[in-house]
Amino acid sequence: MDVYLRWIVDTWDSLPKELITRSFKVCGISNAVDGSEDDLIHCFKPEGSCPEGRRLLANEHLKLSVSLAVSDLVDLVEEIDLYQDNVNGYISDESLEL
């Protein structure tokens, strides 16, 4: 058993780190979340099993970016409102009478 385990450890240690890193990226496991490495995913390549997948993934990245931008804008507007309430002496929006 010791001999077999030594073979496994020696073989694993002999693999270039770049090969291991690339293998994870080709499988889509450790790619950049911004989509900049989506072209490395094997199944998204023209000869891959899901060539339209890269376009679909890019669309999802775009939707997420827009959603996050809108969320940031809403947070900013709420922050401005809270600041204005403090300036006017209001504790919250509920203190306003319509």
Which of these, 96, 67, 97, lies nearest to 82 by C-alpha position? 96
Give the residue from 29, 32, 34 showing the smallest Cα distance to 65.
Answer: 34
pLDDT band at residue 87 under the 50/70/90 scheme: low
pLDDT confidence of residue 14? 95
Over the stretch 15-59, which tens digit does the pLDDT of each residue have?
999 999 999 999 989 888 888 888 889 888 888 888 888 888 888
Per-residue confidence (pLDDT) for residue 89, from 0 to 100: 63
Please report the pLDDT score of residue 15 as a whole number. 95
